[in-house]
Amino acid sequence: LRVAEEALGARDDYEIKSKVIILLTDGSHNAGQRTPAEAAELAAGWGIKVYAIGIGVGAPEQTVRTPLGTFRLPAGQPLDAAGLQAVAERTGGLFRLAEDTESLVAVYAEIDRLERSEVESVRYVDFRERFAPWALAALGAVVAAAVLAATVFRRTP
């Protein structure tokens, strides 16, 4: 983020309005050298809002409905909602729980409403015209049909 900030900050026509991290996690601290609290302090110091989206469930198993019936499956890691809430509050962001696809889409829509900004981008479209070979093949087929109709497949009354 620092490199992007320095590169974009060097441009006169670009202003960074807000810095955001969308953290989609179960909240378990199982990697890295820093604790979530230390990471939240760093993000707050750099002016980065953390929007924490909690996935997972608190129960040790979850019920899944399929066309073949209802099954109980192990839920995996338990959700650390308190830790995610603390990280989000420390950085000025939000914590939301996403239990299914619809709720995840709703959370992303909420973040989109809160962090709306216009970004100009240049879009290049590279295409090649591929109509000519097919048109020539069709023309050849029509000419061949006309020649064959006048010679080999000619009908006499």
The answer to whether position 136 is within a domain reads no
Highest-pLDDT range among 66-70, 113-117, 139-143: 139-143
* Distance in angstroms (rounded) separating the CA atoms of residues 41 and 82: 16
* Distance in angstroms (rounded) separating the CA atoms of residues 87 and 37: 6
Residue-level pLDDT at 65: 84
Number of domains within the chain: 1
* CATH classification at residue 73: 3.40.50.410
H and E: helices and strands count for the chain: 5, 5
- What's at 8, amino acid-wise? L
Residue-level pLDDT at 8: 61
Alpha-carbon distances, residue 79 vs 59, 73, 76, 85, 146 (angstroms): 9, 16, 9, 11, 74
The answer to whether position 85 is within a domain reads yes
The answer to whether position 149 is within a domain reads no
Supply the range of the domain harboring residue 62.
Answer: 2-114
Give the Cβ contact number of residue 84 at 10 Å: 24
Q: Where does the pLDDT of residue 57 fall: very low under 50, low under 70, confident under 90, or very high at 90 and above? A: low
The answer to whether position 81 is within a domain reads yes
Q: Which residue has the tokens 């603390």?
A: 86
Alpha-carbon Rg for the chain in angstroms: 30
Tens of pLDDT, residue by residue over 14-54, are 666 788 899 988 777 777 788 888 889 998 988 899 999 98
The answer to whether position 122 is within a domain reads no
The answer to whether position 46 is within a domain reads yes
Q: Which of 6-15, 43-52, 59-68, 74-83 has the lowest mean pLDDT?
A: 6-15
The answer to whether position 140 is within a domain reads no
140 has pLDDT over 70: yes
The answer to whether position 109 is within a domain reads yes
